[in-house]
Chains A and B, each alone.
Chain A
Amino acid sequence: DGGITQSPKYLFRKEGQNVTLSCEQNLNHDAMYWYRQDPGQGLRLIYYSQIVNDFQKGDIAEGYSVSREKKESFPLTVTSAQKNPTAFYLCATSGQGGHFSNQPQHFGDGTRLSIL
């Protein structure tokens, strides 16, 4: 099936620990995005990537890092510098024309991160 796979579904972070959220897509989309969603809130952009080996900061990049070594994969690391990491994290992709063009975004089913 074509789609976006986020793993794990639930993740717990200990104090001072870095954790990595996985996002894999088989839609052959160029652009990939990471969003953070807090309860009852909209989505805020953390990082985005339009092409392999390139990525840009979004509105709330502090305390997060990403890599884009393969077209299919865009992992997000939540570092210990992110003091309030508890949230629902969503990965998305968009197709030809990518990057905020007039293309819909396709979303994975999210990872819920909590602090132990």
Chain B
Amino acid sequence: SQQGEEDPQALSIQEGENATMNCSYKTSINNLQWYRQNSGRGLVHLILIRSNEREKHSGRLRVTLDTSKKSSSLLITASRAADTASYFCATDFNKFYFGSGTKLNVKP
């Protein structure tokens, strides 16, 4: 399977702390995307990083990509209770493949 796999499956932190989620995949990719899903809702696109990029920032989000290790990480700095959601990475190789997600709980 070329599916991205997130790690950890669940993460619980206090408000204000940083949250780091990892994604590993198996084959070459054109780009990797991160999405957020609030409970019972659709996914919301957060950030796209191309295979020739190593790091990308968007507000409190920082994404890194290591194509040699076939892995990516999503860092959320100064987390807020509103960041509580599931986070998915999606890789593309002919088709889009979503991992099973990291469930983040930010306690106020």
Contacts and interface: CB of A to CB of B under 8 A. Distances in A.
Nearest to B88: A42
Classify chain B's interface size.
Answer: 20 to 34
A109 B42 CA distance: 4
Interface string B40-65: 11111100101000000000000000
Contacts of B48: 102, 104
Interface in B1-33: 3, 30-31, 33
A6 B50 CA distance: 30
Interface of A: 4, 6, 33, 35, 40-43, 45, 58-59, 90, 92, 100, 102, 104-110, 112
A91 B95 CA distance: 15
Given A107-B43, A110-B40, A110-B41, A42 B31 contact: no
A100 B92 contact: yes
B95 A100 contact: yes
Given A100-B95, A105-B43, A110-B42, 7 more contacts: A4-B42, A35-B98, A42-B98, A42-B99, A43-B43, A59-B95, A105-B45
Nearest to B93: A100
Contact of A58 (B35, B95, B99): B95
Given A100-B95, A102-B50, A108 B42 contact: yes
A34 to B, nearest CB: 12
Contacts of A108: 42
A100 B40 contact: no
